Chain A
Amino acid sequence: MEEQVNQIEQQALKAISSAADLHQLEDARVKYLGKKSEFTGLLRSLGSLSPEKRPVMGALINKTKQKLQHALVNRKTVLMNADQQQKIEAAKLDVSLPGKGVKLGRLHPLTQTMHEAKQIFIRLGYEVAEGPEIELDYYNFDGLNIPPHHASRDAFSTLFIDEHLLLRTHTSPVQVRVMEKRKPPLAIVAPGRVYRRDTPDASHSPVFQQLEGFLVDEGITFGDLKGTLTEFTQQMFGRDRKVRFRPSFFPFTEPSAEVDVSCMLCNGKGCRLCKGSGWIEILGSGMIDPNVFKAVGYDPEKYSGFAFGMGIERIHMLKFGVDNIRLYYEDDLRFLEQF
């Protein structure tokens, strides 16, 4: 019997180690350790042995069974690993193939720049307000201290609808509309489209976009204008930019200032972009003229404030080196997808 056990062990171990896959391994298990196997038969026949031999043989059979079970588990692990490996092999792919899904859209570059500019002021506590593009001449001119037939109206080559309606030439009318309705303190930015009767070329478009802003309260100073617009310019163009304020003229501000930023291309040394001056004009600004306050019923002795306006196309052009303003309204996807 002992011999028989050894023989089964030898055969079983051979069958286990030579099983090529999990099926063959299972077959081997059934054959050598299953309920109907020789081995099980041997176990059952233990009863017929003498009481002295019984424990000896029982121990031998159990030991062998454990050995075989151990061999089975080991072989199973080996085969499972191989099986998984095979599946992995089969599933290999070209990881460089294009992905699936819908291509994302983009926001228009002017929307992005407008958002950026607007957000800087919103973080500084400003509100957003809007006004009509087809505007009454009162709000576009008279209310902003630009009387009828005044030479300074010519600076805004205006597109008219009729005698008193026009396409607003700047976003400044929003100042008058907001101030007519509300009392200080006010801190407002007004984004929107404006129109000029300009022949289109690389730097002129009859339609373009401005962001207007103004702040009115008691005790607002020119120093506050400088601080606010320096902060804006450096957030927009970088902390390393220098900012300068140059006296200028706008009918609705007094004193008025153009805001220049040190040239981003040559860093102020002078180049083609800044026409050799080292400075680039980016904003018009000034202290709101007392006549504008009077027109909306504010007391200019009590309140003061500043206003500013900027062209969004110009800022985007400067930041990205775009050389033709017409690209913004042509909507060539090859242009739009660059931003």
Chain B
Amino acid sequence: MRVPINWLKELVNFKQSPKQLSELLTMGGLETVIEEGGALEVDIIPNRADCWSIRGIAREVSALAKAPLVPARSALVEADKKAASVVKVEVRDKKLCPRYMARVIENIKIAPSPDWLKQKLESVGIRSINNVVDVTNYMLMELGQPMHAFDAGLISQGTIVVRRAEAGEKVKALDENEYELGNEMLVIADPEKPVAIAGVMGLANSEVRSDTSTVILESAFFDRVSIHKTSTNLKLRSESSVRFERGVDWVAVEEALDRGAALIAELAGGQVLKGKIDKKAGNRKPKVVTLRPQRVNQLLGAKIKPAEMTGILKRLGFGIKGSKISIPLYRAADIEREIDLIEEIARVYGYHKIEATMPNTSFAGKKVDVLDLFHEQVKTILTGCGLTEVQTDSMVGPVDLQKAGLDPDDAVRIANPLVVDQSLMRTMLAPSLLKVIQHNRNRQIEDVFIFELGKAYHPDKKQPKEKWVLSAAVTGSPFLSALDKMQADYSYLKGVLENLLARFGLKNVQFEPAEDQLFQPGRTAQLKGLGLLGELHPEVARQYDLEKTVCLFELDLDALFAMTRGKSKYRTLPKFPSVSRDIAMFVPAEVSYQMIVDLIKKTGGSLVEEVFLFDRYKDSQAYRIVFRDPAKTLTDLVVNEKHQQIVKAIESKLQVRIRR
């Protein structure tokens, strides 16, 4: 909010320079900067409804700078004729309108405002309209009380009805736009038609015109929630609605009415009729809260003297009777408990004067988050394997999913997305990684080795399921030097994955042939219960405009986490030597490496410590089998017998020809 320093000076007698003033307000809780043209720009935090006016800021300055407030002067002269003879007010919904006040000013002459008023409004960025409307805006800015002036001649039967709108009722507001109202919204009406959207904006049908001679001046107190709903639903914000939805001052409703009426009469030359209409649902009295000085110091960790506490509250306008603190009505919107008073004391006393300490607390029951630790380990291992971590948006568009062959209907949908490209929650991470490869490729970066550890989201009954997923995508050369020519393919990424699994003690995860729309048939493996690994399907690659081989995996990380628990165990180191034997064979295409290894292990039993493929050319393969007995040194006799059993088994069960 813009606060002209000269205007502020009319309301509070301070000696501080603008710089000191802005520092004082900032450290008191209202961030303030100095603007050009002798004004401050004050950032009003949402709970400080009372600060949405020059007087509100003046009160803050008074409390923070210990400067006296200047009382407002107003000389209201009433005519003999009674206001009640001109206007009747009927409030039909006292919950949404707890107080409605009005005065009538007759025989006025609409004219431009005097220069002092014009300049005043200009200094806060409001355009001058005429000597009546300007007065309402003057009160709005100075006291924070929104007011409205109706042309009495346009109010049918001189009767104002405060009622809920009828559903579908259409009105044309002062901003020239038409609005369709709902029956939860409050309107000011006459017996025939609405004349204002209560607390938000007046309507064109009753505004003050150049020939207006009698005005009805409205000053009211509307329900905060109702005004907020109306303004949100109509997408219509005004200087009035902003203040009503935060809460206005019960007392200032009347003060603004009296000062406004007197000023209109002064500037437009009319008479204020006798009496004021005041329809209210009971009277509001300041709430009283008990303050325990020891509680203040206990919570703040400070040693503020009780007299200093009451001094601060007094400067803020609170009433004090021993430990009973009465809250001025202009603070009713944000102060209702002892804790709120503690905050007031702390901020005016100065946060900087409270000593910084370290908490004295026990660490009983605290534990390490093993999942978080696991995630960090996974990330570290993959970076060691040459993959760079990326983080992509969790919100995607239907096109992103469709490109990867996924169904947008399977995704959690955002009801009010900003753009369609961010209207769904991703169900898989791989499509986002492909986008990253494409982004980099378009910038001449050909070697992309990336992974993301993040969440995928799936609709579920009460609350969508969020699953931790690990996805990787690689393309190009992984090497430091371009002298190394190898390009990443299926087996390269499988190696990365094997390293990761081995690090968590998972040595026997099986890679079985699988099919999936994202991957190229014949170059895709499924890891049971974990996910898929494979080369990108050429059709999908085309969607992303990728020519080079791209290899991907996507794993259910929650499942992997569960599998890794308790996997690492200590075994004593072997005491006896191992013996190894090699087998060379011609392997037909239908027989997989896994089948051969499984058969060797099964046939060899516990004596086989390790089997590995060490040579491979066309269909010729050579395996080395390492035998070891943990209890004794193996003899050739035993090893040869086992080895012969293995050779026979391979020949008879796999139709593989052994090379001899």
Contacts and interface: CB of A to CB of B under 8 A. Distances in A.
B130 to A, nearest CB: 31
A161 B412 contact: yes
A165 interface: yes
A226 B346 CA distance: 13
A222 interface: yes
A53 interface: no
A169 B457 CA distance: 17
A3 interface: no
Given A100-B484, A105-B385, A287-B299, A328 B361 contact: no
Interface stretch (B147-155, B197-205, B413-421): B413-421
Nearest to B232: A154
A51 interface: no
B628 to A, nearest CB: 32
Nearest to A224: B359
Interface stretch (B25-33, B588-596, B613-621): B25-33
A334 B443 contact: yes
B168 interface: no
Interface in A212-230: 215, 217, 219-224, 226-228, 230
B17 to A, nearest CB: 16
Interface in A296-339: 300, 304, 328-334, 336-337
Nearest to A229: B356
A162 B394 contact: no
B505 interface: no
Given A101-B480, A161-B415, A290-B337, A125 B363 contact: yes
Given A152-B46, A187-B359, A331-B436, 6 more contacts: A125-B361, A130-B372, A223-B355, A246-B31, A290-B337, A336-B388
Interface residues of B, number: 96
Contact of A151 (B28, B245, B340, B367): B245
A244 interface: yes
A77 to B, nearest CB: 40
Contacts of A328: 391
Given A105-B389, A223-B302, A248-B29, A185 B362 contact: yes
A68 interface: no
B531 interface: no
A188 to B, nearest CB: 9
B84 interface: no
Interface string A111-146: 100010000000001111110111110000000000
Contacts of B362: 185, 217
Contact of A110 (B371, B391, B445): B391
B386 A246 contact: no
B376 interface: yes
A100 B480 contact: yes
B359 A227 contact: yes
Contacts of A135: 463
B357 A162 contact: no
B390 A336 contact: yes
A268 interface: no
A247 B60 CA distance: 13
B481 A99 contact: yes
Given A106-B388, A207-B393, A222 B46 contact: no
Interface of A: 97-108, 110-111, 115, 125-130, 132-136, 149-152, 154-155, 159-162, 165, 167, 182, 185, 187, 191, 193, 195, 197-199, 206-207, 215, 217, 219-224, 226-228, 230-231, 244-249, 251, 254-257, 275-277, 287, 289-290, 300, 304, 328-334, 336-337
Contacts of A226: 351, 354-357
B298 interface: yes
B478 interface: yes
Contact of A105 (B371, B383, B443, B445): B383
Contacts of A149: 225, 228-229
Nearest to A243: B356
A111 B369 contact: no
Contact of B299 (A127, A195, A197, A221): A221
B267 interface: no
B361 A220 contact: yes
11 contacts: A130-B372, A133-B394, A155-B46, A159-B414, A187-B361, A191-B372, A195-B394, A223-B355, A331-B390, A334-B445, A336-B389
A231 B346 CA distance: 21
Nearest to A111: B389
Nearest to A219: B360
Interface string B348-389: 000110111111111111111101100010011011111111
A158 to B, nearest CB: 8
A327 B559 CA distance: 32
A34 to B, nearest CB: 44
A191 B371 CA distance: 13
Contacts of B245: 151
A132 B467 CA distance: 10
B91 to A, nearest CB: 22
A227 B394 CA distance: 36
Contacts of B657: none
A165 B425 CA distance: 13
A132 B466 CA distance: 7
Nearest to A287: B299
B422 interface: yes
A126 B449 CA distance: 34
A277 B19 CA distance: 11
Nearest to B432: A331
A336 B26 CA distance: 37
A108 B455 contact: no
A126 B463 CA distance: 28
Nearest to A124: B358
- 5 tightest A-B CB contacts, nearest first: A221-B301, A223-B301, A247-B29, A98-B481, A255-B343
Interface in B436-480: 436, 439-440, 443, 445, 448-451, 455, 457, 463-464, 466, 478-480
Contacts of B383: 104-107
B395 interface: yes
Contacts of A249: 29, 45-48
A207 B228 CA distance: 27
Contacts of B484: 100
Nearest to B482: A98
Nearest to A193: B394
B99 interface: no
B480 A98 contact: yes
Given A254-B343, A255-B347, A329 B361 contact: no
Contact of B445 (A132, A155, A227, A333): A333
Given A128-B372, A185-B361, A329-B393, A254 B301 contact: no
